[in-house]
Amino acid sequence: MNLVFDIAWTHVRNRARQTLVAVAGVATGVGFSIMMASLMQGSQDDFIRQLVNALPNITVSDEQRSPPPQPAEAAFAAAELHGLTPEAKRRGIKNPLAMIAALEGWVPGGIAPSVKTQVIIRYAARDISTSVIGIDPGREARVSDLPKQMRAGTLTALYRATNAIILGDKLADKIGARVGANLTLSSSEGTTLTAQVVGIFHSGVRPIDEATAYVLVKTGQILAQQTGLVNELHVRLADPMASREVASRIERDVGYKTVSWQEAHEDLLSTFVIRNVIMYTVVGAILLVASFGTYNIISTITHEKARDIAIMKSLGLSERTVRAIFVVEAAIIGVVGGLFGFLLGYLLCVALGAIEFRSPFMDTNHLPMVYSPLHYLIALLVALASSLTAGYAPARKAARAHPVEIIRGAT
């Protein structure tokens, strides 16, 4: 109702200083909660991004979820079998190129093969056990950040020597190898060959940098003695969040165990739920404190305006109308405070995002901030709800006041 708003607006306007304090309270609450949400969401997104980028979105491995049936089961229709060892089968995904070609028909993203084997690297009388991964440089660029992580040389340099190898920077430091050095690789399968270092990479993840090296798929297959087979297919999707669905479809298509990053990191993702609960509790507490300011001013106005309330009621304004006046006042404070809070929150986010960190442990040197309208909406709604709750109690009390008692007291 227009009249209600007019009176409410006049009340808050005539108490500019008090109103400003209450508005500032709400604005601070909204501003800081937006900042908190932006920072928490930002760091969470950043963490997930690192997680998603450190590993393929989806890994198709040369395993099955359930062990293959024993031939005896098929032959005898037996209910139970004792004393059998599983059939010895060569590990590895057969005919990977055909499979990649089939998957590329519908998977929205890049696919790359990889061959993994354990190798002892010998160089300058040092032996280091290392994972050697065979990759296809052209395809690898589509599924990992490895090309961006190169500190020396490029991925395509792998084609330059007969047996070329790219080392993690910590591994290279450990054995003292530089680009151009010739290493001896001895695989667990018994193959020994000489490889030339053509590049150094730095992923930022210490265990990887310390004990990983990349070679061509072909070299990897020789080391693992599995010509024509690969161990894993790596998939990176345009939308990593769709990994779960795509993974289950790939598994149905190809029959190999296919794991999405969400499945691989279920434990980590569940900690985010706890983090968010903590965040929203803190944000809620901030806004709750802000609502005390609103309670305070509405309470004060109803006290100061006791006489006016009595007059309005004696004129014939109903209890509901009088109550509405003060609830609207609380709403005005909530909305105005919320809007100023938007500005404050945005500025805080910008300021925090501009701070530079120089840390040897972190590759990012800015706080990751996320600007999401949802944070603003939630903060405004919570601020409005707490303001209305805070305003309702004194409004109800004021509206119930008996006009005669106040008028009698005045005369």
Partner 1 sequence: MTASAAVETASRREGAVGPVPLIEARHLTRILPGVVPTTLVHDVDLKIWPHEFVAITGPSGSGKSSLLYLLGLLDLPTAGEVLVGGQPTSGMSEAQLAVIRLATLGFVFQFHFLLPEFTVLENVVLPMRALGALSQKAMTERGLAVLGSLGLEDHVHKRPDQLSGGQRQRVAVARALANEPAIILADEPTGSLDSKSTEQVFTVLQELVEVRGKTVVAVTHDLDLAQRMHRQVQLVDGHVVADADIPSRGKK
Nearest residue (CB) to partner 1, 377 versus 410: 410
Nearer to partner 1, 160 or 408 (CB): 408
Of positions 2, 66, 270, 359, contacts partner 1 by CB under 8 A: 2
17 belongs to the binding site for partner 1 (CB under 8 A): no
| CB-nearer residue toward partner 1: 10 or 192 | 10
Candidates 8, 11, 158, 260: give the one binding partner 1 (CB under 8 A): 11
CA 53 to chain centre: 12
Nearer to partner 1, 94 or 400 (CB): 400
Residue 408 contacts partner 1 per CB under 8 A: yes
Q: Per CB under 8 A, which region of 139-147, 278-286, 288-296, 403-411 contacts partner 1? A: 403-411
Does residue 3 touch partner 1 according to CB under 8 A? yes
411 part of the interface to partner 1, by CB under 8 A = yes
Among 204, 284, 368, 403, which residue sits at the site for partner 1 (rule: CB under 8 A)? 403
Q: SS3 for the chain, per residue?
A: CHHHHHHHHHHHHCCHHHHHHHHHHHHHHHHHHHHHHHHHHHHHHHHHHHHHHHCCCEEEECCCCCCCCCHHHHHHCCCCCCCCCCCCCCCCEECHHHHHHHHHCCCCEEEEEEEEEEEEEEECCEEEEEEEEEECHHHHHHHCCHHHHEEECCHHHHHCCCCEEEEEHHHHHHHCCCCCCEEEEEECCCCEEEEEEEEEECCCCHHHHHHEEEEEHHHHHHHHCCCCEECEEEEEECCHHHHHHHHHHHHHHHCCCEEEHHHHCHHHHHHHHHHHHHHHHHHHHHHHHHHHHHHHHHHHHHHHCHHHHHHHHHHCCCHHHHHHHHHHHHHHHHHHHHHHHHHHHHHHHHHHHHCECCCCCCCCCECCCCCCHHHHHHHHHHHHHHHHHHHHHHHHHHHHCCHHHHHHHHC
Q: Which is nearer to partner 1, 230 or 301 (CB)?
A: 301
By CB under 8 A, tell whether 10 contacts partner 1. yes
Number of residues that bind partner 1 (CB under 8 A): 27
Looking at residues 276 to 315 of the shown chain, list those that interact with partner 1 (rule: CB under 8 A).
307-308, 311-315
The residue among 186 and 321 lying less far from partner 1, judged by its C-beta, is: 321
Binding flag, residue 227, partner 1 (CB under 8 A): no
Q: How far is the CB of 307 from partner 1 (least distance, A)?
A: 7
Q: How far is the CB of 16 from partner 1 (least distance, A)?
A: 12
User: Cα separation of 211 and 45, whole Å?
Assistant: 28
Chain residues 312-341 in contact with partner 1, contact rule CB under 8 A:
312-321
- Determine the interface stretch with partner 1 among 3-11, 109-117, 152-160, 293-301 (rule: CB under 8 A): 3-11
- In angstroms, give the least distance from the CB of 39 to partner 1: 43
Does 410 help bind partner 1 (rule: CB under 8 A)? yes
User: Which residues in this chain contact partner 1 in the complex, by CB under 8 A?
Assistant: 1-3, 7, 10-11, 14, 307-308, 311-321, 402-404, 407-408, 410-411
